[in-house]
């Protein structure tokens, strides 16, 4: 049924979305109207005549979601609950249990409880699998099971969960939750301030400015702004955060769209806090969107040295457009270009490979910063100083995506004791236990070489090679599988960094993780050393 709907309604649904969005293709109005009429009659006849009872709402939801999947991952249909979650995410305030959660088919997993908030007070830990909220089993809920965790202030909810194979229950009293854009800032040594900017919600500029002023009052004469793992957020906040360090009237970002009204130049509009203080910005492969506007434009304007690893590469801008019945379409309306004129979009969603995956940009164009330094487009923000431990690779990404690192950290927490954050040390023996954990898990990572071999040998040409070659091929695949564990050693630095971060959050929350970073993080230590070398800092920006 879903395949029928997907194939037959793709074009008309696109037409509806474009019409609602106020399409500029007025010359195609007849074609749009035609496709809408075709879809309307199809949808009516399908629901009236199909052999079994249909659910019109579910069919439409499937049609819309399948259609949008063919565009880009940021263009989404938001139902009424999604709209509310979108507002909460941008505002940084909501009422609930105070934890990051991930929803699965039959459970909701606690990813990170916020220190001092209801989930933490009730004893919930990262890795706990919620199977029941109140009297409702998660397995009986089709979508948005985590919404049941939200509710009015001072209301309670009983939660049944599984921890290390044992079923437990607890009562959580909901509270007003404030999600800080700046969860941590502190002095490093006597003259360097460190600020973590974790997201670009409506509090981003206000809290970054407050942190900057407090650090300056404490004697900071140099600043490290940490945007690692920051997924982005509000465009206006990105511009205003940049404005803290550059003068009023400076061009930060330009947006370009096929719809003229979305073409805009965004310049700073406020008086800055400090345009002279030496500044280093930290980024990594999970720094995206608004994080890349800030880091990219500060790099283009030669206002900061960028340290870390190439950022994610999201140069697309979305805007929520109101639909009927309280729903919205969050649609990609334009590309953004940093101060030098470059777009850092990494994936081309409008050109796909044979597997339907977006093609990654491999050809980059050169641009010039304000001082004439070379920068490039098309692949995220490339740091001025790269840090090996901050880089991403397919194996580490797969370990994170498949929750192998997360699950290992859960087991580590319940089988080890760490009394003091500064005493924590992840030893070679610990990494050996991680490799053993991976070997016994269901983790399945297919390399490009394996994929290519399987495609060749499963195609029509495989009959040409005969049994001897086929057996050699199987032996080669088996040997490649055995050698995958060796790849863990190859990427040990990157993998261990992620392991340490996940483990430290279990014992000491985010605050403890940042305390540990100040003493042990390679990127922070590199940034601190750079800021203490005035000549090297100045030479990079020249």
What digits encode the pLDDT tens for the residues 509-524?
A: 999 999 999 999 999 9
Task: Note the pLDDT of residue 171.
Answer: 97
> Could you tell me which residue, 446 or 497, shows the higher pLDDT?
497
Say if 85 falls within a structural domain. no
Judge whether residue 474 has pLDDT over 50.
yes
Q: 156, 178, 200: which is the final residue of a domain?
A: 178
Say if 220 falls within a structural domain. yes
- What is the full DSSP assignment across 98-153? -EEEEE-SS-EEEEEEPTTSHHHHTT--TT-EEEEETTEEGGG--S-GGGGG---T
- 350 and 229 within one domain: yes
- 64 and 161 within one domain: no
Helix (H) or strand (E) holding 253: strand 251-256
CA 271 to chain centroid, in Å, comes to 31
Task: Note the pLDDT of residue 271.
Answer: 97
Counts of helices then strands in the chain (DSSP H, E):
17, 23
Task: Give me the residues paired with residue 267 across strands.
Answer: 251
Say if 52 falls within a structural domain. yes
Task: Note the pLDDT of residue 447.
Answer: 64
Q: Which CATH number does the domain housing residue 223 bear? A: 3.90.226.10
Judge whether residue 254 has pLDDT over 60.
yes
Q: Percent of the chain at pLDDT above 70?
A: 89
CA 415 to chain centroid, in Å, comes to 30
Contact 266, 254 (CB under 8 A): yes
- Mean pLDDT for 399-405 is 94
| Domain span including residue 417 | 394-522
- 163 and 251 within one domain: no
Q: 178, 213, 232: which is the final residue of a domain?
A: 178
- What is the full DSSP assignment across 322-340? E-STT-EEEEEEEEEEETT
Task: Give me the residues paired with residue 132 across strands.
Answer: 137, 160
Task: Note the pLDDT of residue 3.
Answer: 45
Distance CA 368, CA 386 (A): 19
Residues assigned a catalytic role: 289, 300, 314
Say if 313 falls within a structural domain. yes
Q: Which of 170-174, 256-260, 313-317, 458-462 has the lowest mean pLDDT?
A: 458-462
- 324 and 222 within one domain: yes
Query: 3-state secondary structure string, 418-451?
Result: CCCHHHCCCCHHHHHHHHHHHHHCCCCCCCHHHH
- 299 and 255 within one domain: yes
Task: Note the pLDDT of residue 456.
Answer: 63
Say if 80 falls within a structural domain. no
**Average pLDDT in the chain:** 88
Q: Is 124 exposed, middle or buried (0-12, 13-18, 19+ CB in 10 A)?
A: buried
Say if 145 falls within a structural domain. yes
Task: Note the pLDDT of residue 482.
Answer: 67
Instruction: Give tens-digit pLDDT for 65-110.
Output: 888 988 999 999 888 878 877 777 777 778 899 999 999 888 999 9
The C-alpha torsion from 430 through 434 and 439 to 443, rounded to 10°, is 180
CA 536 to chain centroid, in Å, comes to 33
Say if 87 falls within a structural domain. no
- 402 and 255 within one domain: no
Distance CA 219, CA 57 (A): 60
Q: Which residues contact 413 (CB under 8 A, 6 or more apart)?
A: 125, 126, 127, 503, 506, 507
- Mean pLDDT for 469-485 is 71
Task: Note the pLDDT of residue 23.
Answer: 45
Structural domains in the chain (count): 4
Q: Is 405 exposed, middle or buried (0-12, 13-18, 19+ CB in 10 A)?
A: buried
Instruction: Give tens-digit pLDDT for 16-40.
Output: 444 444 444 455 778 888 988 998 9
pTM of the model: 0.85
Joined tokens for residue 434: 């991680």
Task: Note the pLDDT of residue 8.
Answer: 43
- 367 and 322 within one domain: yes
- 372 and 226 within one domain: yes
- 350 and 207 within one domain: yes
- 437 and 332 within one domain: no
- 399 and 301 within one domain: no
Distance CA 321, CA 310 (A): 32
- 221 and 165 within one domain: no
Q: 333, 356, 386: which is the final residue of a domain?
A: 386
Say if 1 falls within a structural domain. no
Task: Note the pLDDT of residue 534.
Answer: 95
């Amino acid at each position: 049924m879903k395949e029928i709907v997907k194939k037959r309604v793709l074009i008309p649904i696109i037409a509806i979305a474009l019409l609602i969005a106020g399409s500029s293709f007025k010359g195609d109005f007849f074609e749009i109207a035609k496709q809408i009429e075709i879809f309307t009659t199809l949808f009516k006849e399908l629901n009236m005549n199909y052999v079994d009872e249909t659910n019109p709402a579910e069919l439409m939801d499937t049609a819309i979601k399948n259609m949008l999947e063919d565009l880009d991952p940021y263009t989404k249909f938001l139902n009424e609950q999604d709209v509310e979650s979108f507002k909460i995410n941008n505002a940084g305030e909501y009422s609930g249990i105070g934890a990051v959660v991930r929803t699965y088919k039959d459970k909701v997993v606690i990813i990170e409880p916020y220190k001092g908030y209801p989930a933490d007070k009730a004893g919930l830990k990262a890795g706990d699998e919620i199977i029941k909220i109140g009297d409702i089993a998660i397995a009986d809920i089709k979508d948005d099971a985590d919404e049941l965790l939200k509710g009015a202030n001072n209301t309670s909810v009983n939660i049944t969960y599984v921890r290390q194979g044992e079923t437990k229950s607890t009562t959580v009293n909901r509270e007003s939750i404030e999600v800080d854009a700046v969860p941590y800032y502190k002095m490093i040594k006597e003259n360097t301030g460190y600020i973590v900017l974790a997201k670009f919600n409506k509090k981003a500029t206000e809290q970054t400015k407050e942190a900057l002023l407090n650090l300056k009052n404490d004697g900071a004469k140099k600043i490290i702004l940490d945007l690692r793992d920051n997924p982005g957020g509000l465009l206006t906040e990105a511009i205003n955060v940049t404005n803290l360090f550059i003068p009023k009237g400076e061009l930060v970002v330009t947006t370009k769209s096929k719809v003229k009204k979305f073409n805009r130049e965004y310049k700073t509009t406020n008086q800055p806090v400090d345009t002279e203080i030496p500044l280093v910005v930290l980024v990594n492969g999970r720094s995206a969107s608004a994080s890349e506007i800030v880091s990219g434009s500060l790099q283009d304007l030669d206002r900061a040295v960028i340290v870390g690893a190439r950022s994610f590469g999201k140069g697309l801008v979305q805007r929520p457009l109101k639909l009927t019945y309280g729903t919205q379409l969050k649609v990609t309306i334009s590309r953004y270009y940093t101060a030098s004129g470059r777009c850092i979009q990494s994936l081309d969603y409008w050109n796909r490979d044979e597997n339907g995956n977006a093609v990654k940009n491999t050809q980059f164009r050169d641009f010039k910063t304000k001082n004439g330094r070379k920068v490039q487009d098309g692949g995220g923000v490339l740091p001025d100083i790269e840090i090996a431990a901050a880089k991403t690779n397919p194996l580490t990404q797969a370990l994170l995506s498949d929750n192998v690192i997360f699950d290992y950290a859960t087991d580590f927490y319940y089988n080890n004791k760490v009394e003091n954050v500064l005493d924590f040390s992840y030893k070679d023996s610990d990494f050996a236990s991680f490799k053993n954990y991976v070997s016994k898990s269901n983790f399945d990572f297919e390399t490009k070489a394996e994929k290519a071999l399987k495609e060749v040998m499963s195609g029509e040409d495989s009959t040409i090679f005969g049994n001897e070659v086929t057996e050699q091929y199987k032996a080669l695949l088996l040997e490649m599988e055995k050698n995958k564990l060796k790849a863990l050693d190859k990427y040990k630095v990157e993998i261990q960094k992620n392991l340490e971060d996940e483990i430290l959050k279990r014992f000491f929350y985010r605050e403890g993780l940042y305390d540990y970073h100040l003493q042990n993080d390679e990127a922070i230590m590199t940034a601190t050393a750079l800021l203490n070398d005035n000549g090297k800092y100045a030479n990079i920006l020249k």
